[in-house]
Amino acid sequence: MRKERILFLCTGNSARSQMAEGLLRHMAGDRFEVFSAGTHPAGLNPHAVAAMHEIGIDISGHRSKLVDELAGQSFDCVFTVCDNAREACPFFPGGGRRIHHSFEDPAAATSERQSEVFQRVRDEIGTRLREFLRDGG
């Protein structure tokens, strides 16, 4: 049976989409093929790695990818996790769904609040993904 292919797309592919990729893999096991990419990759944010590590998910092996690396591939669902990505989101064949929710950019938080913002955004993404899975994925 073919697995659904899910793409998380944001601007930098450094935090929000990376955390979403790790969370969905963790929550759904091998039910989906999960990818993330960015319109302007900025490298994996170490605060995202730390926030995920706190809940037992290791994304340290992820890398920030340009969405162009996925050109020509088909996705069943494309999640945009920031407004910039939704506006710049290229066409992906396959008739897939588009789901959008703009999460705060935790990397833009002041340094004294950054860990707290990463944790909150991680948890907000987790809530949305639980809703996605509850509604049948």
Active-site positions read 10, 82, 89
Please give the Cα distance from 61 to 13 (Å, whole number).
14
Strand partners, 79: 8, 99
Q: Is the dihedral of CA 38, 42, 47, 49 positive or negative?
A: positive
- Establish how many alpha carbons lie within 13 A of residue 93's alpha carbon, considering only the half-sphere containing its beta carbon: 5
Hey, what are 108's tokens?
């833009």
